[in-house]
Every structure is written in C-alpha cells, then in structure tokens.
Amino acid sequence: MTAPEIKQEIEQEIEQTRERLGQTVEELAARADVKARAKAKAGEVARQVSRSPFVQRRWPLAAAAGVAAAGVLVAGSVMVWRRRRT
C-alpha cells in the first residue's frame, strides 16, 4: 500500500469510529434520562389499565384512579432515586 492509501484507510476507520461513538453516546443519554423513561413507563401502564375490558366495564372510576396511582408511583420512585443518588 502506498502512503496516500494508508492515510485514506485510517481516515475511513476514524470516521466509522466517530459514528459508532456518536450512536453509543445517544444510547447512553437515552438510558440516563430516568425522567423520560419513567414517564414512558407510566404512560404504558396507564394504557394497559385503561384498555382492560374488565376494568372498563366494572370500574371506570377505578381505572382512572389506577392510572393516576401508577403515575404517582413512578414519579415518587424517580424522586426517591434522585435523592439517593446525590
């Protein structure tokens, strides 16, 4: 290989490494965003509870209360977790 070919190959490797590093940083940032993950989980639980045919027929008010309780539980867990971290 000639010097220019080696240089080009190294530059390509550097660019690929930068792309992988960027993806890794984005993944780590998403994992570290506990508040967003908690909100997403609370929304998921709320949808599951509200879609339950049994809950909808029998206890519509209880379904709403369950959704609210799930949100409070997740929010409280995040607050406790943050206080223990600091």
Q: Answer with the residue of higher pLDDT: 81 or 13.
A: 13
pLDDT at residue 12 in the model: 94
Ranked by mean pLDDT, the top range of 3-7, 13-17, 50-54, 75-79 is 13-17
Q: Answer with the residue of higher pLDDT: 71 or 12.
A: 12
Run of H or E including 33 = none
Residue 46 neighbours by CB distance under 10 Å? 19
Write down the pTM of the prediction. 0.41
23-73 pLDDT, tens digit each: 998 888 877 777 788 888 887 877 776 677 765 666 666 666 777 777 777
**With contact defined as beta carbons under 8 Å apart, do 34 and 79 qualify?**
no
pLDDT at residue 36 in the model: 80
